[in-house]
Structure 1
Amino acid sequence: MTPTRTRGPVRVVGTGLLGTSVGLALATRGVDVLLADPSPSAVALARDLGAGRPATDDDPPPALVVVAAPPDVTGDVVADELARWPDAVVTDVASVKAGPLRQVADRGGDLARYVPGHPLAGRERGGAVAARADLFAGRPWVVVPGADQAAVRRVEDLVTDIGATPVALSAAAHDEAVAIVSHVPQVAASLVAARLRDAPAEAVALAGQGLRDVTRIAASDPALWVQILGGNAAPVRRVLGALRDDLDVVLDALDRLAGGGADDAGAAAGDGGPAVGASAALAALVAAGNDGHARIPGKHGAPPTPYAVVTVVVPDRPGELGRLFSDMGEIGVNLEDLRLEHSPGQPVGLAELSVVPAARERLETALSHRGWVVHSSPR
């Protein structure tokens, strides 16, 4: 293991998902972690999970404080910690940055020792029970540059020690960025999932992987997201406004097509009609989505890589997926990504194995020889 540059004690204020995960990541590397939370039972749970030990008045002053409080109180908690520990660097993990930074400044906090941060990591479930020591592994962690470079380096050391990658962004740039890559996707997922409440049971029974992909994050904590969206209201509103404009174009195209007018093909034949251009508008939307999706970073943050997909039928029994992975290892093909979908009413699942294109044919052939049912993809 790489030597740890973070020196304790590190005080973690807030023992929910992120705070406990920070504690676990540091404690497993031998760093002394002091846990604090308004709830004694929350501290006890984090302690029992191995995230550190409860903070006491007899502890030495912390060198670093990580505030993992709810977004709407992060600024106040940071200001309190700066005042209580005059020699400590204080950072936070809130998903909005401009608001807490402004709150700390308004309270006269020492901004030279406050280094705002935000790990782009999380889970659908919250709380300490969902915490993991590797939650931040390979994930970007925004660190807002400050006046004191030594303080910034101390936070960057923390980020690197627990496996994340420091990314320097101003508070304003961060809030604009997370509006489009995190906050608006949450709203979109919730809007789509909300349509399912009153959908006929037979319609919901047809749900496939596409719906599950789109709505996965709709299971998030409503109370937390009220705070996040409220704290980043202006950037989120701008993105949603542009999204609404795009949706209006789609609605207009669908209205024209539903009205019985000719589509583009009919217009080309000289028929004309109210739906002229509607099909092109829908095609442009899907094409724009293709372009945007192609910009999403690939594995380990590398440029997007087109993978080939090998689909394998996996019996829904203990050990079968592990056997598939073991066979892939023996064949010598690396699994780049995995999607697993269960067939409704059938005791099998479909494992979509993403591999480099050059390995697809070899993998399909080798798995078939080992008895797996493989659905070949078009080449």
Structure 2
Amino acid sequence: MRSALVVGTGLIGTSIALALSRRGVDVFLYDADESAARTAASLGAGRAALPTQPVDIAILAVPPARIGEALAKAQQEQWARVFTDVGSVKARVHGAAESAGAAMDRFIGGHPLAGRERSGPLAARADLFEGRPWVLTPGPTTSRDALNQALELVSLCGAVPVVMDTEEHDHAVALISHAPHLVAALMAARLENAREQSVRISGTGIRDLTRIAGGAPELWEDILQANAPAIAEVLAAYAADLTAAVDALRAVAGPDAEAAKRGAADLADLLRRGNAGHARIPGKHGSPSASYTPVPVLISDRPGELARLFAAAGSAGVNIEDVRIDHSPGREAGLVELLVDPTVADRFATSLSAAGWTVQA
């Protein structure tokens, strides 16, 4: 790949342009908002201009609802030899592209599963896709050239290609991304009018559950509408489980001993299924999910404290697999949970205590 055009210079488009430019690809940038394209160019993502002759590939980094129209225009203007997109919905995009009269043999759907809670070109990173899955959804007429160019694009961005059918992709992202976002939003919405005293004691649990609810509403409105049928299917099953959980809780709290017993069994089964589902989420490097032991350490909220703590882990020869931080309400301190291999947890805790750290049992 020698040349590329990125249409849409938000977070994803600019990150792709930065990654390609870093690998020596001549990148052109186009955005309906000219200031966004100029900002991306100033970051080293490429040139804020349209190509004068067809480039190797055009990447359409625009909202799903606009991809079909953007593809038809890009092909009419002969901006590239082949085309791909980065939308999080695929079946509707393929249908819209066909309806717009696009040449489907020169198009392959794409979806890099990476992002940030910030948006816009200033949030872009050249390494955003490193090690992340990048789904490609070739259609029945997609040419070998289009597939090869898309595979090279994924490789240049450091991502891992995954080939899927459009319908399979849309159901998968509804299950692992779109429905969870709505569930997080529903839970976070409970906090909007909650008592201040209740919100003040929030911990890592509610933060972890609602973190993604902070995403840009405008972007998510478009995504949810584009993949509405698949999301509704997932949420319908979720709603059935939720209703069963409500019934079980009410039975447990009720006067009927037999009903309470059945309710307790239903709750236990739901928790068991939750454990089983969580265990299927891949661990690091795509390996099976692993269980780690938390080592809780009390630290002060001062610059350099986390660095000192991580350095202590390095000195002890311990690899930190994950980190959770819970800030103390009203105090300049917090509890840091360092998740480590169970076989080294006791030795690590002893080492930290000997070094003067306050390790909670």
TM-score with structure 2 length normalisation? 0.95
Which range moves more in the overlay, 156-165 or 253-262?
253-262
State the secondary structure of the residue aligned to 1:65: strand
Tell me how far apart the structure 2 counterparts of residues 328 and 150 of structure 1 sit (CA, whole Å): 49
Deviation at 1:276, TM superposition (A): 4.1
Matched residue type, 1:220:
G
Question: Structure 2 matches for 1:99-248, cutoff 5 A?
Answer: 99-146=92-139, 147-248=142-243
Tell me how far apart the structure 2 counterparts of residues 238 and 314 of structure 1 sit (CA, whole Å): 45
Are positions 1:70 and 2:55 aligned together? no
Deviations 1:102-154 (A, max 9, x none): 11112221111101000111112221122111111111110113432232121
Tell me how far apart the structure 2 counterparts of residues 288 and 237 of structure 1 sit (CA, whole Å): 21
Q: Is contact 1:9-1:60 (8 Å) kept?
A: no
Matched residue type, 2:241:
D
Q: For structure 2, list consecutive stretches of 5 or more residues without a partner in the other structure.
A: none
Cα distance change on mapping 1:67 and 1:346 into 2, 3 Å:
same
1:93 corresponds in structure 2 to 86
Tell me how far apart the structure 2 counterparts of residues 315 and 125 of structure 1 sit (CA, whole Å): 28
Q: Is contact 1:184-1:240 (8 Å) kept?
A: yes
Q: Is contact 2:82-2:145 (8 Å) kept?
A: no
Cα distance change on mapping 1:87 and 1:346 into 2, 3 Å:
closer
Matched residue type, 1:373:
T
Tell me how far apart the structure 1 counterparts of residues 150 and 107 of structure 2 sit (CA, whole Å): 10
Tell me how far apart the structure 1 counterparts of residues 326 and 351 of structure 2 sit (CA, whole Å): 22
State the secondary structure of the residue aligned to 2:330: coil
Matched residue type, 1:316:
D
Q: Is contact 1:75-1:99 (8 Å) kept?
A: no
Matched residue type, 1:315:
S
Matched residue type, 2:179:
V
Tell me how far apart the structure 2 counterparts of residues 260 and 62 of structure 1 sit (CA, whole Å): 73
Deviation at 1:17, TM superposition (A): 1.0
1:47 corresponds in structure 2 to 41
Are positions 1:23 and 2:8 aligned together? no
Tell me how far apart the structure 2 counterparts of residues 195 and 83 of structure 1 sit (CA, whole Å): 48
Tell me how far apart the structure 1 counterparts of residues 335 and 81 of structure 2 sit (CA, whole Å): 52
State the secondary structure of the residue aligned to 2:129: coil
Matched residue type, 1:282:
L
Deviations 1:149-186 (A, max 9, x none): 23212111111211111001011100010000000000
Q: Is contact 2:67-2:97 (8 Å) kept?
A: no
State the secondary structure of the residue aligned to 1:112: helix
Tell me how far apart the structure 1 counterparts of residues 252 and 350 of structure 2 sit (CA, whole Å): 45
Moved beyond 4 Å, runs of 4+: none
Q: Is contact 2:136-2:161 (8 Å) kept?
A: yes
Deviation at 1:307, TM superposition (A): 1.5
Deviations 1:312-351 (A, max 9, x none): 2221100111111122222222121111111112222222
Are positions 1:372 and 2:357 aligned together? yes
> What is the aligned length?
359
Which range moves more in the overlay, 149-158 or 33-42?
149-158
Match of 1:298 among 273, 283, 297: 283
1:318 corresponds in structure 2 to 303
Match of 1:328 among 287, 291, 313: 313
Tell me how far apart the structure 1 counterparts of residues 96 and 137 of structure 2 sit (CA, whole Å): 15
Cα distance change on mapping 1:144 and 1:18 into 2, 3 Å:
same
RMSD (CA atoms) = 1.5
Are positions 1:287 and 2:272 aligned together? yes
Q: Is contact 1:140-1:165 (8 Å) kept?
A: yes
Deviation at 1:84, TM superposition (A): 2.1
Tell me how far apart the structure 2 counterparts of residues 261 and 71 of structure 1 sit (CA, whole Å): 52
State the secondary structure of the residue aligned to 2:126: coil
Tell me how far apart the structure 1 counterparts of residues 298 and 128 of structure 2 sit (CA, whole Å): 30
Deviations 1:17-70 (A, max 9, x none): 11111111112222221110000111111112222210145x442111110001
Cα distance change on mapping 1:235 and 1:142 into 2, 3 Å:
same
State the secondary structure of the residue aligned to 1:88: strand
1:348 corresponds in structure 2 to 333
Q: For structure 1, list consecutive stretches of 5 or more residues without a partner in the other structure.
A: 1-6, 263-271
Tell me how far apart the structure 1 counterparts of residues 344 and 149 of structure 2 sit (CA, whole Å): 43
Are positions 1:12 and 2:6 aligned together? yes
Q: Is contact 2:30-2:37 (8 Å) kept?
A: yes
State the secondary structure of the residue aligned to 1:190: helix
